[in-house]
Each structure stands twice: as C-alpha cells, then as structure tokens.
Structure 1
Amino acid sequence: MELFDKQKEAVGQGERTLLVYIELPQNRHSHNGADELLELAQSSGLDVIQNLKVTCNNANARYFIGSGKVEELADLVKELALDLVIFSAELSPSQERNLEKHLECQVMDRTGLILDIFSLRASSFEGKLQVELAQLRHLSTRLVRGWTHLERQKGGIGMRGPGETQLETDKRLIAVRIKNISKRLEKVHKQRDLGRKSRIKNELPMIALAGYTNAGKSTLFNYITQAEVFANDQLFATLDSTIRRVILPASGEAVIADTVGFIQNLPHDLVAAFKSTLEETRRANVLLHVVDAADEYNREKIDQVQAIIFDIEADKVPSILVMNKIDCLDNFEPRIDRDENNRIFRVWISAQTGAGIDFLYQALAEQLSGTMTRARIQLDVTSAYIRSEIHNIGYIHNEKVDDFGQWILEINVTHHYLSKLLSLKGVTLLWEQKP
C-alpha cells in the first residue's frame, strides 16, 4: 500500500473520507485515474483526508483487496476517525457489505460516487428522473447491504401477504418505483422526439457538443448561444441537456445541444438512464468533440470519449475535434488543421476568450454544407433591410443594385432559412442551386 498524498486540505463540510485507488493490471497505463477519483470526491463536497494507492493483481472475492490491506485500512479508519471509504474499483454488493462490516464505516465504490454527484447536479425534471432511475437500478442489486431487519416476517390481510420478508418488500417497492419512473420518462422522451421531428421537418442542422467532463463544453455553448448555462471548473458541472436555436455566421440557423460530460468507465446504469439525452448526440449533423488542450492526459481522454461515442452508436456522425483552453498554453495561436483530403478535422480555440471561434464557425460552415443551398434572390426597395440580416445569418457571394434600386443577392444559406426568406414580402427567388 502506497501513501501518495499524505494529507489533503478539507474541501467541504462533508464526511471525512479516505480514497483508495486500486491499481489493476488493466489500468496501470492509465495516468489520471487517481487524480480523477480525487476530483470526483471534491466535486461531491467530501472532506478528503487521505489518498491511498493499492496495487492488486487479482481481485479478492471477499474484499476485492487482500485481507492484510483490509486490516491496514481498518487501523487507518480508526486512527483518523473516518466516516467514508471510497474505492476506485467497482465492488460487488457482498464486497461492500464485508468491507463495511470490517472497517466499521460506510463504503462506496466509484460508481456510487458518480451517482451521488449526478444527484447533486440534476436540476431539470427529466434529469432528476434519470438520476433516480439510475440510482434505483444500482440500489436494487445492493439491498443485501446494511439491513438489520431482513429476516423479520411481516404480513397480514391487506398488507404484503404472509411470509414476505422485508428484503422482498424493499425489492418490490423499488421495482414499482422503477416502473413508474420509466413510464414518466417515456412521456418526456416522446415530447423530446416531437421536438426533434419538428427540427428535422424544418431542416434545421443539429450540432451536438460532446467530450470529457470539464473540457469546457458549457463555456463554448454559452459563447456561441449567449446563454447562461452553468459552467464551472469541476467534474459534471453540467448534467441537464440544454438545446438552443442559434444563428451561425456563414451557416445560418442551427440547433446546438450541450450534453452531459463523459468519463472513463461511465456506469452502464447512467448510460441507460440518459439514453434520451445522449440521443441528441446520435442524431446530430455534426459532433463537436471538445477537448482540454492544456490537459497532459488529453490523448487518453479522447480515446475514452470515442469509445463511449461508439457505444451510443454516434460514431457515424461527422465530428470535429475542438481543442479548447489554448489560453492555458504558452504562446499558442488559434488555428485549423486539415487532413489529407483538405477536410477540417481539428480546430484550436479558447471558449473563455473567444480566440479562434471564427475558425470554428468556418469549420461548421464547411461541415454543414450539405444542409445549405445556393440561391439568387431579389429584394425590392421595401425589403432592403433584410440584406443586413442575411449578412449575419448566411454567406453572400455576390451583391449588386439593379437599375430599379432592387438588391440582387447571391447567397449561401440553409434550406430552412431560404424558405423563411421567400415567405417574406418583397423577396423573390431568381434561381436555386442545391448541393
């Protein structure tokens, strides 16, 4: 057992906590696992007293770690008067129960910690339902732990029925609650599908933000949309999916969605519960994979996000790597990187300062060109004011004033916006060239 952080400053008024990072053969090449566990604990407001690293070649069926290490932990728990021990590895229900009994304090694994953070962050009705569903699914496998009344029989006419144990009652009540939440979420999902179908009908391009948690997705979302979505330097600062209609230079109208941040080994219960939120990523026209350019482990995190994108079947969506936070790098200028086919695949920006955002708009315009149409329109003297709006929304290739004072514009806009223009008085379509 290696003590790699002697003492940590209190980060909240929460429980006095010991973090146990278990180094297994499969994660020995992961450089940020221990740091990430600490960040997760801090995001939950826990008072982290110490960090421990335990090397483990094979998982022990009883405690996951060896009994000798458990004895050392028990002594440490008593010495430091700890309330909570969090393990980085996923523990089975029996392992949690055995560890709690031996350590005489609450034990939690990384999945339980992430669920706890999600419960703190959820603010929308849908988000709260999704988190509760994930928590109940997780709890349903762990009802054996910490219950002292399981063997009591309780029954009677009109109650639970003769011979039903408390454990069976608890399982039944959780199953009923899961069923009710699933039905309510189904209604929310149908409403979300209606909104999605409406956007498709209006031919509005969908842009989805994805990336590792704390990469700066919400800061970028706020910059592009001028919204005020909560953004902070902490893991899972944004949990609830937010969708806004925006007007992008050279692309016109589009819809942009900010989604929950990913993390390595994201619990399956959470992926299942947030299916509708992640659906926005799968149905997008373009995916902006936001990366913290200043993070020394960003290559590893890019791979982990790509694995989750594959899991949710969003790997077919065209994507652009957005290397964010270049303001944290020394003397780094924003730029565009192109592949061998001259396609933009990476953009270097700072969502905090706005540096390089024009390059991002250029990349989006190229990527969304399939949703665009080129047309020549005529604006009569009463509708000339629309010209300035088109300058902001679309791209004007050519413009001139004819002998009658009418503007002739050759423009590049979305199909949806062109239809909107043609519905206005004084706007005439001269020709349209679809891609």
Structure 2
Amino acid sequence: MNVMQGSSIDWAAVRADFPLLTRQVHGKPLIYFDSANTGQKPNAVIEAVDDFYRRHNANVSRAVHALGTEATEAYEGARGKLARFLNVRADELVLCSGTTFALNLVAYSWALPQLKPGDAIVLTRMEHHANIVPWQLVAQRTGAVIKVAEIDELGRLDLERLYALLTPEVKLLALTHVSNVLGTVNPVREICREARKRGIVTVVDGSQAAPHRALDLPSIGCDFYAITGHKMNGPTGTGALWARRELLAQMPPFLGGGEMIKEVRFEGTVFNDAPHKFEAGTPNIAGFVGLGAAVDYLSALGMDNIDARERTLLDYATGALQTVPGLRIFGQAPDKAAVISFLVEGAHAHDLATLLDLEGVAIRSGHHCAHPLMHHFGVPATCRASLAYYNTFEEIDAFVAALQKVRTLLA
C-alpha cells in the first residue's frame, strides 16, 4: 500500500486498493454506501486469506508439524494485532464470530449466573437487536427486568434520565458506542464512569466504532467491549470480546468441546485458561488472518486520518441531501459518525432503495435491526447511507442526483 503524498494520504490510491469498488451494477458504476452493514475488503485482506489457504492451511493448537505451527502463529498473531489496536492485553481478548456472539457470551456466561429476581438491566432506545434480545432472554430466565434509557430529538441519549435509571437494583448497563442507525456517538467513557460509581457492570457494543475511530478500551472504563471484524474491512465470521481479566476468570464456558479444555475425564473436565476456555472448536483461522491484515491496513492509514476523512464526507453529504425536497434526516447529534438515515416524503424506504439500486447506488433500507428505534420515530423503516473513507465526493454528488431522479418517479 503506497498511499502517502508527502504528509497527506492519497485517498484515490486508497480507493484503488478495493477491487469490488471498480465493478458496475445494472450498467452503472457502483456507489457503495452500505459500509455500516459490512465494510469492503482491500487487496491486502483478500491476499492474506488466499495465501493462508494456499500455503499454510492447517488446524490450530493441534499439531506439531510445520503447517500446524504456522497456522497457530498466524491465528495468535491476529489476536495480538487486534489487542494492540484496542490497547489491551491479548489474554483479555476472546476471538469469536462477531459482536452478536460476543454479547451472547456475556449474557449467558456472566449475566445468567449473576442475575436474580428483582435485578435490573438498563438498555438504550438506540440499541441493535443484538444488544437487546440476549438480555431479554436472560431476563426471562432469571426474573430480572429491563429498563430503557431514552433519546432526545437529535438522537442523543438523555444522560440525566439515564443516570436516574441507575438505581441500586441495576446490575448491568448495555449500550452501543455508535448507533448503527443515527450515527450518534455516545459518551461511553462518562457513562461507564457513572455506572462504575454505582457498582454496575457495563457492556459496550463497539461494532460501529471500531472501523472508524481510534479506540483505547482501558480509558473507556467498561467491563466488556464487543467488536465485529467484517465491519473493519476484515472477513465475515470474525470479531472479538474484550473483558476484564477478573471477570473472564470467574465466568464459566459458554460452549463446550475441543480446544477449551486442559483435561477431560468422564468424572469431570478441567477447563483451559481464558480466553481459550471460550473458544471451543476449530475457529475461523483464515478469517482471523484476514482480520489481522485489516488491522494492519487500518493502522497504516491511521484511525485519526480515517475519522477526519469520514467527517469531511459526512458534512458534504449532509449538506447535499438537505437540498432534496421533502427529505428528513433521522439523527443529527453533533460529532456523529458517517451514517445518514433518511426518508423522502411520499416514498417508502424500500421503493427508494430499489430504484437507487438501478442507478448503481447501494444503500440499506429497513428497520436496521433496531425496531424500538423505528417505533420511537413512528416509522416502519428508513433508508441509510453509510460512508467510509474509500468513498468520494463525486459519489455523493451522483447519489444525490440519483435520489432526485427517483424521487420524481415516486412522486
């Protein structure tokens, strides 16, 4: 990757690293504005996965032959890269299939044994279903109740009302770092500090934060933090859960099987140390090799550079969209991430997205796995344009022109 021009980044050269972005859809150049759904993959990631399967493919921690050693070193090397990316210890990082698995791991391995009738879990209105449903299932089994922290008209958490909810019966607070619908960046450091004062365990969904902003998990002060690899330009089926070592030590395994044990007898089993006791079975080895390459790629660009680039794209896109008659943007919190959810008066979200697809524009439409948030705004669905550092101002212009065109077709 040679993308530096003096002290600045050549974003056109960065874009050229992503082969999928050169294709056409329905005879039109692809405009990919769905990175909050999944990030595209640079050549370095594709080549890393290909190289693993061509030259190193073997299982991890099960063989003394050369390929087994190479596979294990590559897999654990990816854990180390991710740990440095998050500024945590590698033995605090459980590798898993993504945020959904990570949150369920916390729900079943920490919350289920800990909670009892009369306890409470606090969630926020803007949560993804992955940070709602596991807690509902645990609450049903333990007798705990769920409380909901609400948002204001700009899509920001009402912090005063949130802190009022943190009463003595609350044992867990789960919240997103960045909303996948609104782009709102929650002040997780402040919120986790207030929760810790009250003895409340905190779980942060970092799926939409890790691809876009520098993360220093110790400074956030949470107890658990979950990320998803495919949103970070890595392969699907990868992700991680970071947790405080003392919590990992006391948590029982979530899944049983190979690799998560030290010794098995019919009389009983001695489990491996964390994080390996939570990694039963053969992992997505090639996927994590690819995720390691993605972390290298992001780190080489610099997360602060990525953040600045995406802020500039967001400002430009927001201004351009505000010229479209009848368009409503959902979520206008200051310092938001590069996500724009919107509707156009008189047009259904799915109709808009379908017609935009015919113009080569890929956006998301639907409830975005956030039904409670849709209910809050009184709409069944929205369109969502989510930008990444590999997008361009020219794409934004073409997107707005296409939106103006399809709006007239639906009028």
TM-score (norm 1): 0.25
Q: Over alpha carbons, which structure has the higher Rg? A: 1
Higher strand proportion: 1
TM-score (norm 2): 0.26
- Which structure carries more relative contact order (alpha carbon 8 Å, separation 6+)? 2
